[in-house]
Amino acid sequence: MTPARLYPLIACASIVFSVVAILVGHFGPDPYLDPMNVTISEYAVTDRGGVTEVAMAVLGIGSLALLAALRRMGAPIRGLPEKLLIVWSAALVVAAVIPTVPLGLDLDLAAQVHRYVSIAAFVSLPAAGALLVPRLTADVHWKPVARAVEWVALAGGFGLLAITYVALPGERVMIGLVERLLLGAEVSLLGLLAAWALWLTWAPPRAPKHPVDANFPTYHRFIASRS
């Protein structure tokens, strides 16, 4: 099996494993922790089995596999979208290796590193999705998922605004819920790209007899603008 056919499989398997592992990790820590008001990183630091950290690292590695798949397939990711995907992947791995401190303690140097790489991860993926939308729209092979990518990228953008408000003037009210919704949008973006890459690699669709215009109207001018 060639790497070009293997990378999409690795990406899809990594995403599925990570989602399941993060869900499992919620059953291990202190049962008094409220997932609505505690971040995933704070859950992870109390997870004695390390399931959540493993999930984050696997998701980062799987994202790199997805990037490799997209590059080998000639997907329109060159330039800034590619760099942002690398930032997302590397930040996840670093955040998994360098944990934060338990809830209620002052941040040490390692926890500050964890915080900033987490911010980099959360920001980079919706930005990459936003930049990809017009490129996918113009590509005959990728235009079927362009609209869905636009919506999850838009959801990620709103999620960033929400978590910024909650983390600063909102005094962390429901920060756990907001973070999980944001992460759900970002993982959905990865899942869309990985699943379509897998489909194109293993079961390429036939070209339609009457191609549909790839330049369909988009609902968000910023996302639809060309990078």
Task: Tell whether the model's pLDDT for residue 215 goes beyond 70.
Answer: no
Task: Tell whether the model's pLDDT for residue 78 goes beyond 60.
Answer: yes
- Percent of the chain at pLDDT > 90 equals 59
- Percent of the chain at pLDDT > 70 equals 85
Helix, strand, coil tally for the chain in percent (to 5): 70, 0, 30
Mean pLDDT of 169-192: 92
Task: Tell whether the model's pLDDT for residue 151 goes beyond 70.
Answer: yes
| Whole-number pLDDT of residue 150 | 96
Split at pLDDT 50, 70, 90, the class of 212 is very low
What are the structure tokens assigned to 95, written together?
């955040």
Mean pLDDT of 210-227: 46
Of the candidates 183, 164, 160, the residue with the CA atom closest to the CA atom of residue 172: 164
| Whole-number pLDDT of residue 22 | 87
Tally Cβ neighbours within 10 Å of residue 192: 19
88-147 pLDDT tens trace: 999 999 999 988 887 777 888 988 999 999 999 999 999 999 999 999 999 999 999 999
Q: Which residues contact 19 (CB under 8 A, 6 or more apart)?
A: 55, 187
Could you tell me if 194 and 89 are in contact, meaning their C-beta atoms sit under 8 angstroms apart? no
- The backbone torsions φ and ψ at residue 179, rounded to the nearest 5 degrees and listed phi first, read -65, -40
